[in-house]
Structure 1
Amino acid sequence: MRHHSIVGRLGTADTAPITPTRAETHVTEISFVDGFGHVGYGLGQALDQLRDVGLCPSETAVDLALLAAAITAADTRISRDSDAQDAWTREIDLHLPVQDPARWEGLAPLIVRTLNFLTGDHWGVNFRHRVASMPTLATPPTKLRTATPSSVCLFSGGLDSFIGAIDLLAAGESPLLVSHYWDGITSKHQTYCGQALKRRFPGATIHHVRARVGFPNDVVDDFSVENTLRGRSFLFFALAAMAADAIGGQAVVHVPENGLISLNVPLDPLRLGALSTRTTHPFYMARFEELLQGLGLSVALHNPYAFQTKGQMAKGCADLGFLKGEARNTMSCSAPANARFAKNKPDRQPKHCGYCVPCLIRRAAILEGWGPDDTEYQVADLHGRTLDTRRAEGGHVRSFQLALSRLGKKPARAAFDIHRPGPLTDHPGRLADYEATYVAGLREVGRLLEGVQAKPS
């Protein structure tokens, strides 16, 4: 196990001494400002795109995005296998320059609580004044404002966010779509889906902010990569909050995510850690909103599909014909690049695997929504052969089958299972709705898996 300290710097003039909380920590310094005074690692890209349409966020919102970028650096470049005692829980401190350290220090316990829940690690956060030569990071626009979005919508390139954007546009809204990406696969789907929306709704004004936020493999060590990426939604929310703050007023950030994935009840006892994400869990979203309020940002998060399954989202889409025609161009898979390493696949092009948890929920949703699914999957036919549960192709299927079996034998357990991923104390009046969403979502996948055979080879 190795303790890490990530120290954020704002250019070469930022030389303030940092006192780590532990003497044996591994210190990594990251400068978020280049030699020309431009904010790097994708944050400047987002700021430039906002400025191009006459929008400028507050420095507080920029500091939130800077915090999110530092979290991303730590989360994606500190290995759980090599640096965590239990091959999962890492110990990470962040040291960041902000405009108002007193306000941020007062929120440090909330930030730590939020991050610990989100990623399963032990975090520490420390704040100091920005260097005097960098009083502002957001350059004011030189153009008149040309964007007047009615709201912000997270836009990942997946099926849920595509449905969310369609529903907003069909209702006459003009959302500002916000995306972040690192790999080319995600970028390709985000770009295509954004252009498809513009073709479908030519009368609507659709602005799309896309930021490539990521860090080189050697930013922390000679070569260190972590692929669990549990902190990614903090970055997603922070970029969206920065855009919403730039719009002004009481801004709403729409977080389109089906209720089954949002709750993400572990399918078996082994899925509480590595295989159970909390990226849109109600407890996490409530803590992030609490942070926004503490920072004085008039931004609210809203998941309009918190009590719908993915299939219900698809079936209820405001433009079902358009969705049916374009669904194959969205990306839901947790590891689409794995197709490049698949044996006996002549094209080896990135595509949906067809058997991971997000793929199974997607396939079930399309079956529920309209039936035929023309998405390309590595495992195209789940019924074609017995799936090996000792491999990924059958392991997730079997987990769903076991969860469905346990639910069938004891339906009352659902009322307790929904609390396993995290507290639902922020919404005590909606517990029955969470339970119903969880049960409906599992049964939706169950209909997809009827007749599918999965066992050890």
Structure 2
Amino acid sequence: MKRIKVIFKQHRQDNFILNQGKDVLTIYTSDRGLSDTLVTTNVFEILKKRAITPSEETYDLLHFAIGLYVIDQVYSRKAFGFQGWSRYFEIYVPVAKPELWQEIKEELENTLSFLSGDRWILHFRELIKEEKQLKIPEEKQASKIDKVALFSGGMDSFIGAIDYLEQGNRMAFVSHHKRGSEGTAQQTLFGALRKKYGDEAFETFRFWVQPVKKNAPSADISSRMRSFLFVALGLTIANSLDEKIDFIIPENGLISLNVPLTGTRLSSHSTRTTHPYYIYELQSIFGHLGIKNNLYNPYQTATKGEMALNSKNLELLRELNKDTLSCSHPDQNRWRKGGKSGVHCGYCVPCIIRQAAEKKASLKGTVYVHNIISNPTSLKSQSGEDLRAFQLALERIKSISEKSLTFEIMNSGPLSFPGKYELSDYVGIYKRGMEEVADFLYP
């Protein structure tokens, strides 16, 4: 396996170098618009414009997350990974307090490996400070925001937004978007929420971070590290307000656990972007760094259908759910004759779980390219893989014991750690979630 060496730098005044040859890539994590830049972003422009001033450690975390997201995108797993998947990264990271980060080095490396399936070696070095660096305040000003929440534009984050707004919270919604339908969905939904709850009910922070393809060594279609970037962006906003402000990641429990549907879907198919163990480990790491904001998923033991049925404003959800976007590849439809982007495919894992939830909560109006009930795609085709995997998983669940089912659920990650929920809670959410899917697939 080839070791990929990368130097992160927060700015161009950083003159750190390695002696090992030309195969070392340098990434400047704040965009300066130069011809050789590998990342373009509006993050620091927004922080400056909105006077967002996170703690020193949070600011370092943000730069670190941006760098991780970029290298995840620019190094192809097929070209650089062991057996076309697992890559080996050695990263040199500038931080204000290297000795503090060194204390959580092993835990952080393991957590990143759990998330992405890659091997990570981290070297923390003294930050060479920029002359005009973002000023970190000694004392934070009182905040008018009650909670910060991730807002992806998907069904789950929209339900979360409705629930917290209905409870009278003044919210800050943090989004990351790429070009295309994702950003459009976010804007449409924010407009609808403003119309319902008023301009003063929430603030929005719409970030984008993207690699510059023409300067990249290659490209990869996976985006495991996007989850880490989401968390860093959310914590940056929450921490800049007050360390007591929570950062919420709304995600239904079935997707959060993401138990492999078949034995062949353990690596590339088994994402862990909101897995409870991953969130638990991040909370521990951030706490050691002095970032005290609580990070949690309030829907960890709810199915997507239960989230919808228990919405604090089900009428509003039924009106606007069609504008949310849950599909794994909503822009593929534009390649079809007369097709447009932003349309759910109908056959990917998120689309199948979404349709099951819509049936349970009587949500209508979402447009799907394929109706897998009346006109199923071929199970031998690529578009039929996820449907076939669900069918196999549902058949297998019928015949295995509770103990065996528990071990299957733990294939996606450890669940025996201190927390709010017991192992039985995770088993329960998996069983109810799969029953919800079965009710959709076998009406």
Aligned residue among 190, 214, 228 for 2:210: 214
Equivalent position of 2:197 in the other structure? 201
**Offset at residue 370 of structure 1 (A):** 1.6
Q: Is 1:410 aligned with 2:400? A: yes
Equivalent position of 2:147 in the other structure? 151
Equivalent position of 1:268 in the other structure? 262
Q: Is 1:191 aligned with 2:183? A: no
The verdict on how the C-alpha distance between 1:195 and 1:138 changes in structure 2, with shifts beyond 3 A counting, is: farther
Q: Is 1:370 aligned with 2:362? A: yes
Aligned residue among 293, 296, 315 for 1:299: 293
The verdict on how the C-alpha distance between 1:138 and 1:225 changes in structure 2, with shifts beyond 3 A counting, is: farther
Deviations 1:50-93 (A, max 9, x none): 45444311121111011101110111111001111210000011
> SS in structure 2 opposite 1:127?
strand
CA distance in 1, matches of 2:401, 2:324: 34
Q: Is 1:443 aligned with 2:443? A: no
Equivalenced residue count is 438
Unpaired segments of 5 or more residues in structure 1? Answer: 452-457
Deviations 1:339-386 (A, max 9, x none): 1223xx423333110100000001111111125x3111110x222234
CA distance in 2, matches of 1:192, 1:260: 27
Unpaired segments of 5 or more residues in structure 2? Answer: none
> SS in structure 2 opposite 1:349?
coil
- Answer yes or no: is the 8 Å Cα contact 1:331–1:352 preserved in 2: yes
Structure 1-normalised TM-score?
A: 0.90
CA distance in 1, matches of 2:253, 2:389: 19
Equivalent position of 2:18 in the other structure? 18
> SS in structure 1 opposite 2:26?
strand
The verdict on how the C-alpha distance between 1:59 and 1:139 changes in structure 2, with shifts beyond 3 A counting, is: closer
- Answer yes or no: is the 8 Å Cα contact 1:368–1:444 preserved in 2: yes
**Offset at residue 184 of structure 1 (A):** 2.3
Equivalent position of 2:385 in the other structure? 395
- Answer yes or no: is the 8 Å Cα contact 1:414–1:439 preserved in 2: no
- Answer yes or no: is the 8 Å Cα contact 2:38–2:215 preserved in 1: no
> SS in structure 2 opposite 1:434?
helix
CA distance in 1, matches of 2:100, 2:58: 13
Q: Is 1:289 aligned with 2:289? A: no
The verdict on how the C-alpha distance between 1:300 and 1:275 changes in structure 2, with shifts beyond 3 A counting, is: same
**Offset at residue 316 of structure 1 (A):** 0.5
> SS in structure 2 opposite 1:209?
strand
AA partner of residue 121 (structure 2):
G
- Answer yes or no: is the 8 Å Cα contact 1:28–1:220 preserved in 2: no
The verdict on how the C-alpha distance between 1:386 and 1:257 changes in structure 2, with shifts beyond 3 A counting, is: closer
Task: Quote the sequence identity (%).
Answer: 33
- Answer yes or no: is the 8 Å Cα contact 1:97–1:131 preserved in 2: yes
AA partner of residue 26 (structure 1):
D
Aligned residue among 320, 339, 345 for 1:353: 345
The verdict on how the C-alpha distance between 1:148 and 1:36 changes in structure 2, with shifts beyond 3 A counting, is: farther
- Answer yes or no: is the 8 Å Cα contact 2:276–2:415 preserved in 1: yes
**Offset at residue 17 of structure 1 (A):** 2.5
Q: Is 1:109 aligned with 2:106? A: yes
- Answer yes or no: is the 8 Å Cα contact 1:340–1:349 preserved in 2: yes
> SS in structure 2 opposite 1:207?
strand
5 Å-filtered alignment, 1:34-73, equals 41=39, 45-73=42-70
> SS in structure 1 opposite 2:25?
strand
Q: Is 1:75 aligned with 2:66? A: no
Q: Which runs of 4+ in 1 moved over 6 A?
A: none
> SS in structure 2 opposite 1:387?
coil
Equivalent position of 2:166 in the other structure? 170
Structure 2-normalised TM-score?
A: 0.93
- Answer yes or no: is the 8 Å Cα contact 1:180–1:213 preserved in 2: yes
- Answer yes or no: is the 8 Å Cα contact 2:181–2:341 preserved in 1: no
**Offset at residue 229 of structure 1 (A):** 0.9
AA partner of residue 205 (structure 2):
V
- Answer yes or no: is the 8 Å Cα contact 1:2–1:26 preserved in 2: no
The verdict on how the C-alpha distance between 1:139 and 1:9 changes in structure 2, with shifts beyond 3 A counting, is: same
AA partner of residue 389 (structure 2):
S
CA distance in 1, matches of 2:389, 2:30: 46
